[in-house]
Structure 1
Amino acid sequence: MATTLSEAYRDHPLHLHQIIPLDFSSIRTLPDSHAWPHTEEDDDDNDHGAGSCIPIIDLMDPNAMELIGLACEKWGAFQLKNHGIPLTVIEEVEIEAKRLFALPADRKLKALRSAVGATGYGRARISPFFPKHMWHEGFTIVGSPCDDAKKIWPNDHPRFCEKMENYQKQMKVLAEKLTHMIFKILGIKEEEKKWVGSTKHSEAIQLNSYPCCPEPNRAMGLAPHTDTSLLTILHQSQTSGLQILKEGAGWVPVHPHPNTLVVNTGDILHILSNSRFRCALHRVMVNSARQRYSVAYFYSPPLDYVVSPFVLDDSFLPRFRPLSVKDYIGVKAKNLRGALSLISTI
């Protein structure tokens, strides 16, 4: 799968300076390259009351499927508890992420992502679309984590690989369960979801680190964007930073709750649902006191799967033209914020 994803990005290479993260361990003041302009919305304290908190849904709730559908329509995101992923599995992955990002910069750069690559260490792939750099470093895993882990730990990579592979397996099971529920809500036909539960899917794990920042009010951890995936399942350490844009409420913080996972819908589900489900625009803010970590699991159909809006009857017109997952990745690689409008039929 790594080769295939690399092929999807091959026609849209990044420049080397767009890949190499800052050596945060040596920085004491915010460089101009990472200083973002102040906006009016930054003055908002994001305290919109309980009515503007993203829903927390218990997967064991008999009404879970209905609640998930409502959350996808209203927010494009929700927090999930009783999700079935053992806490130890999540904790072990966070420990490994901390171990990775605590390494000296020269060690991490041994696994630097290539200009056309999909895996390894580096800046967020959305970096070229913004005039300033983000206060962030990441490590992307597609397929086996060992290829890149061996470059960093030639003799001590098995532990990292084992934890990541186990996490990936557990997340796949949860993603499949959620996908079946969501597809049932949409009424998607059986032949259109045969890939769910098979090996014919696309997945990736993204480890994220947001170091302590000397001037957090002038920096950006991760700039506003939507995910390309069908859905994303996110573990965030017990440090706030993630925000979701809610119409009429502005940027709403997604505060961490113990043993919950954040689920947000991506562009592909937005297309499949014919715009019924939102694709959550989100960003990450940083702070000066605590380093923040997160682990994102991206789940999507196979790259050759043709994404086409599902409409129940002729009274609903398709809002997007059909195209493969790989082709949509190509469209978004050129147009981060305008990809959906470019395939719109209205």
Structure 2
Amino acid sequence: MFTQIPLIDFGPFLHGTDEDRQHVADQIGEVCHNVGFFYLSNHDVPSSLVERVYKEAERFFAQSIEEKMKLYIGSCPYKNNRGYTPMLEEKLSPKGDLKEGFDLAMELPADDQDRTDRDATLYGPNFWPENLPGFRECIYDEYYLSMVVLGHRVLEAFALSLHLPFDYFKSMCRKPMVTMRLLHYPSQPIVYDEDQLGCGAHTDYECFTLLSQSNQSGLQVLNNQGQWVNATPIPNTFVVNIGDLMQRWTNDQFKSTTHRVINTSGTERYSIPVFFGPDFFAEIKCLSKDQIPKYEPVVAGKYLIGRFDDTYQYRQTNSQSSPNSTL
């Protein structure tokens, strides 16, 4: 039973000796097995860049609902789960989540060969606003690409913790499905309905998540005694948590832990999760030949499509305009 989220200093992994790297990897492996969540400090992503991303998020969400709905995720011409999600669009809470978001992922051409010839529908271009100068450059060129680099280093630590070569996952993450979200939660001082939270109880779908939180608390993690543990924001850290694909890949050696968000801070809350997944066609099957697999092998991209189908209202209604567009 854990009652707080562990903190791991990533600096020695990034800049230390092989012995330092293995020591940090062993720490990460233990935490991933027992908790599934940890804070990551000294990650080399400048705090000034993170602050600018939050400013861009505030600028985006401050627009009128009519302006934001021009980028509605259900209207994205590439149909690859990119764009704006209004309040109640996502169904992690049974009655819809009290948050709005903007989703983007790796920028690839619409005629990407995997997309056109092999039906890798999650690949393709992003759905960018045309009225916010500098938005794309800050969000994608600077922050997103920096987080992809960090994600690859975290994967190296995972590999070492599993007694694999440090570059074990590299060949399966050459065109990774890395989704970044800008999220905005209105204040929810009183929970009137447990079926309508900021973000309902869930596990993440991909391999792992790198989450930046604004100064407002809200994230809660469920321990094995059924208690919700607050993941209080710590400056200049990311919250890292294991997702379902990595739990399947490691045959439950790593734990994908249930969590939720309730914004009772009394003010608006922003967060920036980056969900790191492998290549669309990566086969997720038990890494160890010495264990009896607990899960059937799955193709990563097809698995994620199934999970998105269960979560997003537009994928269930096949509507090109959101029923919540007037909220």
TM-score range, shorter chain: 0.7 to 0.9
SS of the residue 1:83 aligns to: coil
- Bigger mean CA deviation after superposition, 218-227 or 259-268: 218-227
**Shift in Å, 1:127:** 2.9
C-alpha separation between the residues in 1 aligned to 2:47 and 2:214?
12
Matched, 1:59 2:38: no
1:183 matched to 2:162? The reply is no
Residue equivalent to 2:116: none
Structure 2, unmatched stretches of 5+, are 13-19, 109-124, 312-327
Whether 2:221 is the aligned partner of 1:270: answer: no
- Aligned partner of 1:302 in structure 2 is 279
Corresponding residue pairs, total: 280
What residue in structure 1 maps to residue 97 of structure 2?
Answer: 134
Q: What is residue 227 of structure 1 aligned with on the other side? A: 204
Deviations 1:77-106 (A, max 9, x none): 100111111111111111101111111111
Q: Secondary structure at the match of 1:262?
A: strand
Distance 1:94 1:190, change over 3 A: closer
Given that 2:157 and 2:166 are in contact with CA atoms closer than 8 Å, whether structure 1 keeps it comes out as no
Partners of 1:188 and 1:310 within 8 A in 2: no
Using a 3 Å threshold, how does the CA distance of structure 1 residues 304 and 125 change in structure 2: closer, same or farther? farther
Which structure 1 segments of 5+ residues have no match? 1-47, 337-346
2:50 to 82, 90, 101: 90
Displacement, 1:279?
A: 0.4
- TM superposition shift of 1:73: 0.6
Aligned to 2:218: 241
- State the distance in 2 between where 1:321 and 1:66 align: 27
Q: Which residue of the partner structure matches residue 213 of structure 1?
A: 188
Given that 2:105 and 2:126 are in contact with CA atoms closer than 8 Å, whether structure 1 keeps it comes out as no
Q: Equivalent of 1:108, from 44, 68, 75?
A: 68
Letter in 2 for 1:253: N
Q: Does structure 1 conserve the Cα–Cα contact (< 8 Å) formed by 2:88 and 2:96?
A: no
The residue that corresponds to 1:327 in the other structure is 302
Change (3 A) 1:334 1:149: closer
Given residue 59 of structure 1, which amino acid in structure 2 is its aligned partner?
Answer: F
Q: For each residue in 1:199-247, what CA deviation from the matched residue of structure 2 results, as whole angstroms up to 9, or x when unmatched?
A: 4211111110001236445451000111111111000001000011110
Shift of 1:311: 1.3
Query: 1:130-171 CA distances to partner (integer Å, 9 max, x unpaired)?
Result: 4312211011012349853334x1xx33x1111112111111
Q: Quote the offset at 1:331 in angstroms.
A: 4.0
Q: Deviations over 1:274-308 (max 9, x none)?
A: 11110021100022621000001111110101100
TM superposition score normalised by structure 2: 0.78
Q: Using the TM superposition, give the Cα deviation of residue 109 of structure 1 relative to its aligned residue in structure 2, in angstroms.
A: 0.9
Q: Which of 129, 135, 158 pairs up with 1:150?
A: 129
User: Does structure 1 conserve the Cα–Cα contact (< 8 Å) formed by 2:106 and 2:177?
Assistant: no
Distance 2:59 2:94 in 1: 31
Whether the aligned pair in 2 keeps the contact of 1:119 and 1:142 (CA below 8 Å) is yes
Whole-angstrom distance in 1 between the partners of 2:156 and 2:72: 36
Task: Choose from 62, 69, 72 the match for 2:32.
Answer: 72
Q: Tell whether 2:193 aligns with 1:193.
A: no
Runs of 4+ in 1 over 6 A off after TM superposition: none
CA contact (8 A) 2:53 2:143 kept: yes
* TM-score, structure 1 normalization: 0.74
Q: Does structure 2 conserve the Cα–Cα contact (< 8 Å) formed by 1:135 and 1:286?
A: no
**Relative to structure 2, which stretch is displaced further, 137-146 or 63-72?**
137-146
What is the CA–CA distance in structure 2 between the aligned matches of 1:214 and 1:60, rounded to whole Å?
37
Bigger Cα displacement from structure 2, 327-336 vs 287-296: 327-336
Match of 1:259 among 226, 231, 236: 236
Distance (whole Å) between structure 1 residues aligned to residue 270 and residue 256 of structure 2 = 23
2:298 alignment partner AA: L
Counterpart amino acid of residue 264 in structure 1? N
Q: CA deviation at 1:312?
A: 4.8
User: Which residue pairs with 2:138 in the alignment?
Assistant: 163
- The letter for the 2-side match of 1:267 is D
- Tell me the SS of whatever aligns to 2:31: helix
Q: Counterpart amino acid of 1:245?
A: L
Superimposed CA distance per residue, residues 58-79 of structure 1 (whole angstroms, 9 cap, x where no aligned partner): 1124332111111101111100
For the residue of structure 2 that corresponds to 1:187, the secondary structure is: coil
